[in-house]
Amino acid sequence: MTTARRDTYTPETLLSVAVQVFIERGYDGTSMEHLSKAAGISKSSIYHHVSGKEELLRRAVSRALDELFGILDEEHARVGTAAERLEYVVRRMVEVLMAELPYVTLLLRVRGNTGTERWALERRREFDHRVAALLKDAAAEGDVRADVEVRLATRLVFGMINSIVEWYRPDGPDGRGGTGRQEVVDAVARLVFGGLRKAS
């Protein structure tokens, strides 16, 4: 069993294990020893794949960031009114968060002590600004309310979306696989754009 795992170990499976350990112990609290034990391979085997834990962190948060920035290049994020594009981006953000749950969770917990963490925070801010710009355009086009300041509205909307990592579990008691995911996406879109109040 151990031998089999060793033989089939790929950078991808190592990354997946590392992300779990980073989330459980915190990045600062994780040593190469912890990673070695969790992965069931020796430290030197890990060094065969990566230069150290910071490279694992960089690969993990890159995966989340690439998926998020990828949304902005999709057709529906580029074509249409700003409000339509914004709604598309919000829906896709929720989808990416659920599909890449551990990677996005880790990205949201990054605090900025190492170069990689500061880089990740900078990229997150860049993404936030891109979405805030969309919201600003939608307000200028008259489709989004102008009585909530753009930066504040962006923060609150991101707050709602990002909070999903706190309770969403694909296979847990709160698991919403398949159509369940769609239910979460629709709920967020309805609340973000229409609010709780019933349209009269």
Of 189, 144, 145, which Cα lies nearest the Cα of 164?
Answer: 189
Stretch that binds a second copy, among 12-20, 55-63, 116-124, 143-151 (CB under 8 A): 143-151
173 near a second copy, judged by CB under 8 A? no
Size of the site for a second copy (CB under 8 A): 42
Task: Give, as one character, the DSSP assignment of residue 107.
Answer: H
Applying the rule CB under 8 A, the residues between 33 and 92 that interact with a second copy are 83, 86
Query: Distances in Å between the alpha carbon of 25 and those of 15, 21, 120, 166, 196?
Result: 15, 6, 19, 16, 37
Closer of 123 and 136 to a second copy (Cβ) = 136
Alpha-carbon distance 109 to 13, whole Å? 21
120 near a second copy, judged by CB under 8 A? no
Applying the rule CB under 8 A, the residues between 180 and 199 that interact with a second copy are 183-184, 186-188, 190-199
Applying the rule CB under 8 A, the residues between 9 and 38 that interact with a second copy are 26
178 near a second copy, judged by CB under 8 A? no
CB 57, CB 28: distance < 8 Å: no
CB 28, CB 112: distance < 8 Å: no
Which amino acid does the sequence have at 179?
Answer: T
179 near a second copy, judged by CB under 8 A? no
Please enumerate in sequence order all residues whose Cβ is within 8 A of that of 109, keeping only pairs 6 or more positions apart, or say none.
23, 26, 27
Positions that interact with a second copy (CB under 8 A): 26, 83, 86, 135, 138, 142-149, 152-153, 155-164, 166-167, 183-184, 186-188, 190-199
